[in-house]
């Protein structure tokens, strides 16, 4: 059982620590009050080492207070000179006081890149954050976004962005939209290897929902990889016969394919009027996603305008969307009812 003396010492230490914390906060407020508004010549933010020393182990609490102070500083600067001279120092002091402070890493990087146009400092901050908080999906996500927007002119920026987005998508708490965004970028820029690695990692280590989504995406990737091969064989068929094949079976019969292409999910391949092969599983998934986005824009229009748009082009005229995505089905179209706002797919006969 502790003695009265040791208990008294601990109580005294606690009181001193609390006094130090309030003293540090008071110092911040006082120095800010007397800081020259038109000059940054006065260093008013204490060094994190001094704060650590004088706050007796309460650095995470001081980090919270400093972060609030940082947000206040951003708001004030944004309405005045917009120099943000002390922004980097404030953000880095905050995360050094509390290396686990996720929001300071995330929003601090956004402040640095957007307000100070200092993408390098933002990148260093996020690297520090990912080392200290490897569990967070938000930090690699912001790193990927940084490469897409602010560092897009650096070598291999797109591949690096996709790499970090893929890391983010495999984190347990990452929303499904992160994985979808990553896959869309990878598909658009032929980064299939990175995409496959991402989905395989998620299929092995993700939650049940994410595993199911990853398995579906791996199946779609297998189909997407087969389509360029089918298109190449179709051109060879045309060179030999003077016409396009009617279906996959004709390619097999001519010895241009060793067997049926992979179809790990329900659907089938067909050749469109443009002479290109398509797969119904991919087209149905893409159509579903576009219809969901369009339906949301129609609903946004109704909520603000008090009516449904007379036609889909009115969504563009009123700035609810920049363009109407084309129907992915060859010869297909979007069917829209302005009375009910209902959208559907006008699928052509195959």
What pLDDT digit, counting tens, does each position of 158-210 carry?
Answer: 888 988 998 888 787 788 788 878 877 877 777 777 668 767 877 887 667 66
Helix/strand/coil for 336: strand
* pTM listed for this prediction: 0.57
pLDDT at position 55 is 57
Angle (nearest 5°) at CA 60 between 56 and 62: 75
pLDDT at position 44 is 47
What's 22-32+43-220's CATH class?
Answer: mainly alpha
pLDDT at position 99 is 93
pLDDT at position 176 is 78
Other beta carbons within 10 angstroms of residue 337's beta carbon come to: 10
Of 228, 144, 155, give the one whose Cα is nearest residue 192: 228
Give pLDDT < 50 ranges for the chain.
1-25, 27-44
The H or E element that residue 253 is part of is helix 248-253
Helix/strand/coil for 34: coil
- With the CA atoms of 27, 28, 32 and 33 taken in that order, what torsion angle do they form, in degrees rounded to the nearest 10? -50
Helix/strand/coil for 150: coil
Q: Do 227 and 279 touch, CB atoms closer than 8 A?
A: yes
One-character DSSP codes across 71-105: HHHHHHHHTTT---TTHHHHHHHHHHH-TT-HHHH
User: Strand 269-271 to strand 277-279: parallel, antiparallel, or no bridges (unpaired)?
Assistant: antiparallel
CA atoms of 1 and 80, how far apart (whole Å): 59
Identify the DSSP state of 260. P
pLDDT at position 139 is 95
Paired tokens of 313: 């082009």
């Amino acid at each position: 059982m502790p003695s009265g003396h040791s208990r008294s010492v601990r109580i005294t230490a606690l009181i001193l620590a609390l006094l130090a914390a309030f003293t540090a906060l008071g110092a911040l407020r006082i120095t800010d009050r007397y800081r020259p508004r038109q000059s940054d010549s006065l260093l008013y933010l204490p060094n994190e080492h001094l704060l650590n020393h004088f706050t007796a182990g309460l650095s995470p609490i001081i980090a919270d207070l400093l972060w609030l102070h940082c947000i206040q500083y951003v708001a004030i600067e944004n309405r005045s000179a917009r120099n943000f001279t002390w922004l980097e120092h404030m953000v880095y002091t905050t995360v050094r006081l509390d290396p686990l402070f996720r929001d300071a890493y995330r929003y601090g990087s956004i402040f640095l890149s957007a307000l100070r146009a200092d993408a390098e400092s933002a990148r260093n901050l996020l690297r520090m954050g990912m080392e200290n908080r490897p569990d967070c999906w938000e930090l690699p996500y912001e790193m990927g976004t940084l490469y897409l927007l602010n560092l897009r002119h650096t070598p291999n920026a797109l591949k690096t962005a996709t790499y970090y987005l893929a890391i983010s998508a495999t984190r347990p708490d990452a929303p499904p939209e992160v994985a979808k965004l990553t896959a869309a970028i990878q598909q658009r820029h032929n980064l299939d290897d990175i995409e496959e690695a991402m989905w395989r990692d998620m299929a092995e280590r993700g939650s049940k929902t994410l595993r199911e989504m990853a398995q579906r995406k791996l199946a779609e990737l297998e189909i997407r990889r087969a389509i360029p091969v089918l298109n190449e064989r179709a051109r060879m068929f045309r060179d030999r016969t003077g016409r396009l094949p009617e279906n996959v079976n004709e390619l097999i019969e001519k010895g241009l394919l060793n067997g049926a292409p992979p179809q790990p999910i329900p659907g089938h391949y067909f050749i469109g009027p443009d002479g290109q092969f398509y797969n119904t599983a991919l087209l149905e998934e893409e159509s579903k996603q576009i219809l969901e986005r369009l339906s949301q824009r129609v609903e946004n229009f109704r909520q603000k305008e008090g009516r449904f748009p007379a036609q889909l082009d009115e969504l563009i005229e009123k700035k609810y969307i920049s363009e109407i995505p084309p129907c992915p089905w060859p010869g297909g179209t979007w069917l829209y009812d302005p009375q009910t706002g209902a959208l559907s797919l006008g699928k052509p006969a195959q």
